[in-house]
Amino acid sequence: MNQAEWWKTGVVYQVYVRSFADGNGDGTGDIAGLRSRLPYLKALGVDALWMNPWYDSPLRDGGYDVADYRKIDERFGTTAEVEELITEAHSLGMKLIADLVPNHTSTDHAWFQEALASPPGSPARDRYVFKEGKGESGELPPTNWTAVFGGPAWEPVGDGTWYLHIFDVSQPDLNWENEEVRAEFDSVFRFWLDRGIDGFRIDVAHGMVKDQAFPDVERAAVLLESDLAEDHPFWDREGIHEINRRFRSVLDEYDGRMMVAEAWVAPDRLPLYLRPDEYHQSFNFDLLGTEWNAGEFNSVIATAVEAAEKIGASSTWVLSNHDVMRHPTRYGLDAGINWRTWPLDGPTDALDVARGNRRARAACMITMSLPGSTYVYQGEELGLPEVWDLPVEVLDDPTWVRSDKQMKGRDGCRVPLPWEPDGPSFGFGSGNAWLPQPDVFGPLSAAVQTEDAASMLSLYRAAIFARREHFVHDQSFAPIDMGTDVVAYTRGDVLVVVNMGEAPIEMPDGEVILCSTDDVSAGLPIDSAVWVHRAR
C-alpha cells in the first residue's frame, strides 16, 4: 500500500464508540474499552479506524449533537486518553479518523445557549439560522421545511423568531454565512490535527449552505436519500465547495491527512466534491439501497468504478453503517420489503436468517475484492444481525419519537458488541449494556468466532489479508458477463464470481483463494462467492 495515499485502498473500520467495548463497567462503550481491543482490530487486519463522534454531547442523536468540539465526552474518556489511543493505533500501523459535525451543534453548545440569551439580530444569534416566523406575530414557521427525523425543521423560541434544525430539534444548524463559524472550524480542525488525527469524516457534508432567500420546498427531507432535486434550498448548494476548499487548505497544512465526505448528492454532482482541492474521498452509499440481485449489483459496481476512474478518485464500498439496518438482516428479507418500516410493520416471516448470513458472507467477498477502499461497520465482521425487535421502551434514536412512532429508527444496528459467549453483557463490559443484547449474540461473540475457522470473523480476516496480497497493488477491474444471475469480474489475475441466482452454477476453473462456503460439491451454491486464480 502506498502509505501516503493509504485511504485509496484501505479497509476502514467504523467504531461506534458507545457500543464497541466498555472499559469502566458503566454500560457505555469508551476509549479505554477500545484501547483494550486494539489487538483484535490489528488481528482483523484493518488499516484505519473511523470514530463516530466522541465529543461532549447530551447524546440526543448518538453524539451527532456536539456540545464541545474540543472535549471528549466524559462517558467516553478524556482528550489525554484519545492522544494515547492515537499513539497506540499508530504503533500498530492503524490510522485514526475522527467524525466532525459542522452542519449543526447541540442545543447544549455554549454558542447556542448564548444565542438564546441574546436578542434577535445579535451577533450571538447570527452564528445560527434564526428567522422571524410568518403570521401576525411570527406564530408560523418561516418556511415549510421538514426535519430529516420528521416534523417541522423550525423551532420557535418565544420571541417571534425560530431556529432552523434540519435534523433533531436538539441540533440547531450553524450559519455558514458567518465568518466566525468558518474560523471556528479551522481551529477545531487544527486542534485534532495537532493531536495526530489522520483525517476527518465530515458529517452532512452537503448541507451547510442554505438558500438565503429561504423559499418553501416541494418535497420533505429524507434521511439517507440521494435523488435530490436540483437547486434545493439546503442540500448540495454551490457555496458548499468554497467551504470544502477551506477545510482542505487547513488539512493540507499537515502531511498525509485526509477527509471523507458524507454527502448524499446526485451521482453526477458527487465528482464535484472530489476535485483536487476538495475531498479526498466520498462515501458511496449505493450498496446500502441495493437489493440482492445481480443486475443491480453489476450496475452499481460498474457505475461507481467508472465514475471514480474518470476523475482519478478511488471508490468506497459500504454495506452497513450506524444509520441503516445491518445487512445480514437486510439481505435476509424477502425482495421488495422496505427494511426501514419492516421492524414495526412486518410480516416477521419475511425474514430468512440463514439466507441473510449466506449473502452477507458473499457480500464481504465482493466489497473486499473491488477496487478502492472498504468501510466495515463494527460487528459486521461478526455477522451481527439487526436487533429489530428491541422493545420500544429502550429506543434512544430520535427517529422513533420524531416519526410519530412510525419507524423504530437506528438503535437495532447500534446494540453493544458481544466479545464473550456469556456474562452480563457478553464481555462488552462488566455490567449490563446501555441497550439490551439478544441471546444470539453469545454464539456470535468474537471469542467464539475466533476459534471457528468457518465463522464470519474468520472469513473477514482471511478476506482482508488476501485482499492485501491480491487486490491492492493493481486497481484494474474488468467486469465479465456470466449471465443475468451472476456478478463476475477480474482483478488482475484473480477472478471473482458471485452466484445471486436460484440454482448452483459451475465452479470457475482455477485455484481457489477464498470461498464463502465450504460445500461446492454441486458447484458454486446460490448466495455464494469465490475468488480463484485464473487458469492460465
Write out the catalytic residue numbers. 203, 253
Closest-CA residue to 389 (of 430, 421, 435, 425): 435
Query: Residues 499-518 vs ligand NOJ: string with x where CB under 6 A?
Result: --------------------
Residue 206 or 467 having the CB closest to ligand NOJ: 206
Query: Residues 50-79 vs ligand NOJ: string with x where CB under 6 A?
Result: -----------xx-x---------------
Residue 23 or 102 having the CB closest to ligand NOJ: 102
We find the least distance from the C-beta atom of residue 62 to ligand NOJ, in angstroms, to be 6
Q: With helix as H, strand as E and coil as C, how does 473-503 read?
A: CCCCCEECCCCCCEEEEEECCEEEEEECCCC
The region that residue 335 occupies, defined by phi over 0 for left and psi between -120 and 50 for alpha, beta otherwise, is beta
Separation of alpha carbons 436 and 414, rounded Å: 10
C-alpha cell, 62: 448518538
* 234 scored as a contact of ligand NOJ (CB under 6 A): no
C-alpha cell, 398: 430520535
Residue 270, C-beta contacts closer than 8 angstroms, at least 6 positions apart: 263, 282, 307
CA distances from 98 to 70, 141, 213, 451 (A): 12, 35, 34, 32
Q: Is the peptide bond before 347 cis (omega within 30 degrees of 0)?
A: yes
Q: Where are the alpha helices (DSSP H) in 150-261?
A: 179-194, 240-251
C-alpha cell, 424: 452480563
CA distances from 453 to 274, 337, 517 (A): 40, 33, 12
Residue 59 or 101 having the CB closest to ligand NOJ: 101
We find the least distance from the C-beta atom of residue 298 to ligand NOJ, in angstroms, to be 28
**Residue with nearest beta carbon to ligand NOJ:** 64
We find the least distance from the C-beta atom of residue 204 to ligand NOJ, in angstroms, to be 5
Which of 173, 278, 286, 323 is in the footprint of ligand NOJ by CB under 6 A? 323
* 396 scored as a contact of ligand NOJ (CB under 6 A): no
What residues does 50 pair with on adjacent strands?
Answer: 14, 97
We find the least distance from the C-beta atom of residue 213 to ligand NOJ, in angstroms, to be 24
Query: Residues 4-43 vs ligand NOJ: string with x where CB under 6 A?
Result: ----------------------------------------
* 167 scored as a contact of ligand NOJ (CB under 6 A): yes
We find the least distance from the C-beta atom of residue 397 to ligand NOJ, in angstroms, to be 8
Residue 285 or 489 having the CB closest to ligand NOJ: 285
Sheet holding 494-499, edge to edge: 478-479, 486-491, 494-499, 528-533, 511-515
505-527: b or e for each residue (b if 16 or more CB lie within 10 Å)?
bebbebeebbbbbeeeeeebbbb
Residue 262 or 380 having the CB closest to ligand NOJ: 262
Which of 22, 30, 203, 380 is in the footprint of ligand NOJ by CB under 6 A? 203
Residue 81 or 236 having the CB closest to ligand NOJ: 236
For ligand NOJ, the binding residues in 95-124 under the rule CB under 6 A are 101
Size of the site for ligand NOJ (CB under 6 A): 10
We find the least distance from the C-beta atom of residue 328 to ligand NOJ, in angstroms, to be 20
We find the least distance from the C-beta atom of residue 57 to ligand NOJ, in angstroms, to be 11
- Judged by the rule CB under 6 A, the positions of this chain that interact with ligand NOJ are 61-62, 64, 101, 167, 203-204, 262, 322-323
